[in-house]
Amino acid sequence: MNNRAMIQLEQVTKIFNAGRVNEITALNNVSLQINEGEFVIIIGANGSGKTTLFNTIAGSVIPTKGKVFIAGENVTFLPDFKRSKYIARVFQNPFDGTAPDLTILDNFRLAALRTQPKHLTIGNTTAFKKRVREVIARLNWGLENKLNQPMGTLSGGQRQALTLLMCIMDNTKILLLDEPTAALDPKSAEIILNTAQHLIQEYHLTAIFITHNLKDAQQYGNRLLQIHEGKLVRDLDATAKQKVLLQNMYEWFG
């Protein structure tokens, strides 16, 4: 980890339904710097603004005010598909991160081209298949022998694990994990989070992990943020985070 800013938010405000009776200020003047190599955990109650913050970084939400920088580039108005040159995502819904009708191999082929143009050439070569097998084999689930199976035939846990592995196919810098284990059984959840942690260390990724599970918030990451009513109310570095007890975190939620 170093002090080079990978993600910067400058006084970001996001108001939904502005001027209407159902106006919501999801983010209120949030400034934040996340440095290269940091593994940031974000916690907060439902409706606190976690997902809006996440989507503002990913590019799915354009802020009402303020600026967003990634690796020094002002990306405030850059749509999500263009920000993918920096960012790889694992969605909350295991079915959002993969295409069910495409084979495992085809899904990985697209992931390998995340930052590159998709040409009219056949890229699923023998060498590429070998590479995909090697990547998938680290799960020890035997999926490396089912590359031609449609993704839709796999379980939610398997698909989420493969989505995670797809993130490392094209030299990503930032990994966004949006409650990736919320819909999974405890065993699958543990495998996915452990795999995520290994990948973050192995590939020196900058990572953000949103979770409602306070045990996970305590166990993983080297920085902890809490959001409440659209504002960052707590920002703990690695040392301070290590000292936090589970009981303390429960108390933060009132």
Partner 1 sequence: MEFYLSALVLSLCLGAMSMGVFISMRIFNIPDITTDGSYTLGAAVTALLLVQHWPVYIVVLISMLSGSLAGICTAFIHTKLKIDALLAGILVMTGLYSINLIIMGRSNIPLINLHTLFSYIQIFPHSIYNTLATGIIIIGAFAILLWYILLTDFGIAMRATGNSSSMTRSLGINNNKMKIIGLAMANALTALSGSLVAQYQNFTDINMGIGIVIVGLGSVLIADALRIWFNIVAIGAQIALVIAGSFIFQMVLAVTLSLGVDPNILKLVTALFVLLIVALPRVKNVLKPNE
Answer yes or no whether residue 80 interacts with partner 1 by CB under 8 A: yes
Answer yes or no whether residue 111 interacts with partner 1 by CB under 8 A: yes
Answer yes or no whether residue 102 interacts with partner 1 by CB under 8 A: yes
Answer yes or no whether residue 127 interacts with partner 1 by CB under 8 A: no
Of the candidate residues 8, 48, 103, 206, the single one contacting partner 1 (CB under 8 A)? 103
Answer yes or no whether residue 196 interacts with partner 1 by CB under 8 A: no
Q: Which stretch binds partner 1 (CB under 8 A): 41-49, 101-109, 228-236, 245-253?
A: 101-109
Listing DSSP states for the chain in one string gives --S-EEEEEEEEEEEESTTSTT-EEEEEEEEEEEETT-EEEEE--TTSSHHHHHHHHHTSS--SEEEEEETTEE-TT--HHHHTTTEEEE-SSTTTSS-TTSBHHHHHHHHHTTTS---SS----HHHHHHHHHHHHTT-SSGGG-TTSBGGGS-HHHHHHHHHHHTTTTT-SEEEEESTTTTS-HHHHHHHHHHHHHHHHHTT-EEEEE-S-HHHHHHS-SEEEEEETTEEEEEE-HHHHHH--HHHHHHHT-
Answer yes or no whether residue 77 interacts with partner 1 by CB under 8 A: no
Shortest distance (Å) from residue 125 CB to partner 1? 11
Answer yes or no whether residue 173 interacts with partner 1 by CB under 8 A: no
Q: Which stretch binds partner 1 (CB under 8 A): 18-26, 83-91, 209-217, 235-243?
A: 83-91
Number of residues that bind partner 1 (CB under 8 A): 38
Question: Which residue ranges make up the site for partner 1 (CB under 8 A)?
Answer: 58, 60, 79-82, 84-85, 87-89, 91, 95-103, 106-107, 109-111, 113-115, 118-124, 148, 150
